[in-house]
Amino acid sequence: MQPPSTTSAPDLAGQPAAESSVSARIVTWTVVSILCLLGGLFRFYGLGLSPMYDEAASWTFAHSSWHSFFQSTWNYEGNMILYYLVLRFWVHLGDSEAVLRSLSVLCGIATIPVLYAIGVRLIGRRGGIFAAALITVHPFHIRWSQEARSYAMLVLLISLSTLLLIAAVKVPRASFLWAGYIGTSILACYCHMLALLVVAAQWLWVAKMNFLLVRSRVVFLAIQLALAAPLIFYAIFKDRGQLDWVASLNAKTLWHAAISLVGIVRMGPLGSALMLLLYAALSTVALVMIFRSRDGPIHSGTLLLLWLLLPSGLITLISIIKPIFVTRFLLMSLPALLLLIALATASLLRRPGLGRWTGAAAAGTILSLSAYCSAIQYRAVTKQPNDFKEMTRYLLSAREAHDGAIFFTAGAYMSFRYYCVLLGLHKVQRWYSQISEMYKLARSRFHRGS
């Protein structure tokens, strides 16, 4: 399956065809711009309402000294170093929840036109618009576009690297495209090291499509491996229990990952079943299209399958030995799933009669249910009080000299410290040596249930 042309077929009249093409592009980019505006509304709404828990760690790294920053990232927190670096400059705009999270919001919005551009090259204009519309209202993507963590930036960089790779494969001699692909893919890996699995899927696609192309671009591959070497070294030799909190793989975890990827949030059994059925049916249609293509399975559709299945499959297999399966880690494969759904829907819409009506009904239903789930997600956020902020406010208002607090996790302390600073107490002392015995005693009693 060759990427379809984004321009109209040549016309004998010449000028009318050109005018039609220009008009179509204006309309298309108007629609994409509207989707970006809607995506911004979905992601900026309620941005400062939910409490800062894990996100407080991002704020802590952003405000630490450069020496402490590099020491911490090298010894323990090297996984999201690119995001932490960008956030160090972003915090100059402010420390409120909304300001800190707006970096991820902008990355989430920027992913919309990138996904459209990928869709145009692999499916066509109609498929590109539908893929962009899907991610605009997708609750899973919206959820992590509202967190001061690296996941929205990760999805943006992976999508951008995929777009550049598709363009580079189409014009193999364009070294600047290959350089752009190498750069963005490495940035994605330094945003989250599991992006290495997506990079592996990308090169596997290139190798299956044209192995000679891999040989001719071995220099770029060597540069990419050299730039990724510190991450690989860190993953192998710097494992100090960073993922010990991850639970063992079980059916409940897999089910939660499945419903998150299709965008189900607190929906009733009928709506959940309908959404799962639509995603399963359209995914099946896409698979049939890919493997029945006259070019065989080794074509552009294979890129989407590898992007979706290889990272999630390897994460699942590794989790049998060492648990690393976390639902949000699969967000990096969400664009591939949405593009597969768009591929199937666009194919149905091109068919006359019942096929077109079926495609339109499926597209409308998925978008409507996704928007509905996003609304439910907002409702849950607006009804959930920021208990950590209010707790901190109360403790500060009632504090007396020589008061102290004991926290059972570093994350809880970071959240407390963040809200202390946000509420005006800019210096929070930490006395480990004075409370170590109290901490051990309290924690042992907590675990005994006394």
User: How high is the pLDDT of residue 53?
Assistant: 84
Distance (Å, whole) CA 443 – CA 100: 32
Distance (Å, whole) CA 443 – CA 436: 11
Residue at token pair 């945003």: 191
Q: Determine whether 198 is exposed, middle or buried from the number of CB atoms within 10 Å of its CB (0-12, 13-18, 19+).
A: buried
User: How high is the pLDDT of residue 294?
Assistant: 56
Distance (Å, whole) CA 318 – CA 106: 32
In the chain, where the domains are located: 18-381, 387-448
b/e map of 119-144 (b: 16 or more CB within 10 Å)? bbbbbbbbbbbbbbbbbbbbbbbbbb
Q: Which of 315, 305, 371 is nearest to 341 (CA)?
A: 305
Distance (Å, whole) CA 182 – CA 250: 36
User: How high is the pLDDT of residue 11?
Assistant: 36
User: How high is the pLDDT of residue 25?
Assistant: 82
Per-residue pLDDT of the chain (450 residues; tens, 9 = 90+): 444 444 333 333 334 444 457 787 888 889 999 999 999 999 999 898 888 888 998 999 999 899 989 988 888 888 899 999 999 999 999 999 999 999 999 999 999 999 999 999 999 999 999 999 999 999 999 999 999 999 999 999 999 999 999 999 988 788 899 999 999 999 999 999 999 999 999 999 999 888 888 888 889 999 999 999 999 998 888 877 788 889 999 999 999 999 999 999 888 888 899 999 999 999 999 999 888 875 544 467 899 999 999 999 999 999 999 999 999 999 999 999 999 999 999 999 988 888 899 999 999 999 999 999 998 888 777 776 667 888 888 888 887 777 777 777 777 888 888 888 888 876 665 544 334 444 444 445 444 444
DSSP string, 242-277: TTTTSPPP-HHHHHHHHHHHHT--S--HHHHHHHHH
Q: Which of 185, 179, 170 is nearest to 121 (CA)?
A: 170
Backbone angles phi, psi at 37, to 5 degrees: -65, -45
Q: Between 334-350 and 97-122, two packed helices, what is the crossing angle to 10 degrees?
A: 40
Residue at token pair 């050299």: 226
Distance (Å, whole) CA 154 – CA 219: 25
DSSP string, 129-179: HHHHHHHHH-HHHHHHHTSSSSHHHHHHHHHHHHHHHHHHHHSTT-HHHHH
User: How high is the pLDDT of residue 50?
Assistant: 85
Distance of CA 162 to the CA centre of its chain: 14
What one-character DSSP code corresponds to residue 295? T
Distance (Å, whole) CA 63 – CA 418: 10
What one-character DSSP code corresponds to residue 328? G
Q: Determine whether 160 is exposed, middle or buried from the number of CB atoms within 10 Å of its CB (0-12, 13-18, 19+).
A: buried
